[in-house]
Amino acid sequence: MSGASHPPSGGVSYLTVDEEHAGRRIDNFLGRILKGVPKVRVYRMLRRGEVRVNGGRVGQDYRLEAGDRIRIPPHRQNLGSTGPAKPSAGLQAVLRQNVLLESDALLILDKPAGLPVHGGSGVAFGVIEALRSMRPDLGYLELAHRLDRDTSGCLVLAKQPRTLRALHELFRGDGVEKRYRLLAAGRWDVHERLVAESLRKNVALSGERMVQVTEEGKLARTVFTALELFPDATLMEARLLTGRTHQIRVHAAHAGHPLAGDAKYGDADFNRRLRALGLQRLFLHAASVCLQLPGQGHVAVEAPLPEALSEVLERLRAGQGLPASGG
């Protein structure tokens, strides 16, 4: 990247993107170079068009290309004595313990439920900010894909720009196999069922982001397989053939078997009955990821089911059924 690596605050500055930074999302790029500028401020710059690429406005998901000229607006860095928010010692210990695989090219983490993958919208930091704070030795670290805040399990990060570009190609095609574990409402006794329903992001009247099944949406495909049947619930495996927002949750609900603990698309009565067995979160876990990465060969990683979810299954297996509906 030519130009200043950390644009000075107080005036307009310009940066030109080189090959090393091509392919990165502009929001992540700005978050790295504008040290001390709150993430909320970065997103506001993009929404208002204060940041310009080649003279035009871009969205937060724009991917940089070599030669792009970026206009950085005047900004104030917040580098007081306390510095930017840092993860607690406890969270750092969990993240270190949850590293499933690390090489020169990539890092795969067992993401805890309840932790977003990145900060913003009132959240001081997410996985990516926490890891960058913990690992100042890494000059580069970017998310290759995302998991919902309430979903746990395998999360892939790139430690090199060329690795990120290769991973994006794999994720956009069929080069990554992602399998999830979930608990669905009712008895869904299917050996294998493909749900192919187009999805579109929408906004409810309350302002909450929702995803709907609609012919006007983008094609999404999920393969569901029953693993274990209980009287009122089914332990399932879901294999993603596409990667749309909330895909598994919406497809399962559309099929009549919403996920346990899903406050957005789920069944309130079913969720209440599961809470009586100790379920305090969404029962959705990214259990494994397999990919063939150039220079790394075959990569296959599994994340064990979290204890909080395993305990719910053990209670079901022990015959501790769900309370009566409405009871």
Residues annotated catalytic, as ranges: 148
Interstrand relation of 297-302 and 221-229 (parallel, antiparallel or unpaired): unpaired
Cβ 237 vs Cβ 192: under 8 Å:
no
Interstrand relation of 106-111 and 99-102 (parallel, antiparallel or unpaired): antiparallel
Q: Is 202 strand, coil or helix?
A: strand
Best CA proximity match to 309, nearest among 256, 268, 259: 259
Best CA proximity match to 153, nearest among 118, 107, 112, 114: 112
Spatial separation of the C-alpha atoms in residues 303 and 108, rounded to whole Å:
10
Amino acid in the structure at residue 216: E
Q: Within a 10 A sphere around the Cβ of 67, how many other Cβ atoms?
A: 11
Spatial separation of the C-alpha atoms in residues 237 and 215, rounded to whole Å:
26
Look-up of token digits 């909330």: 246
Best CA proximity match to 21, nearest among 38, 5, 43, 40: 5
Cβ 244 vs Cβ 251: under 8 Å:
no
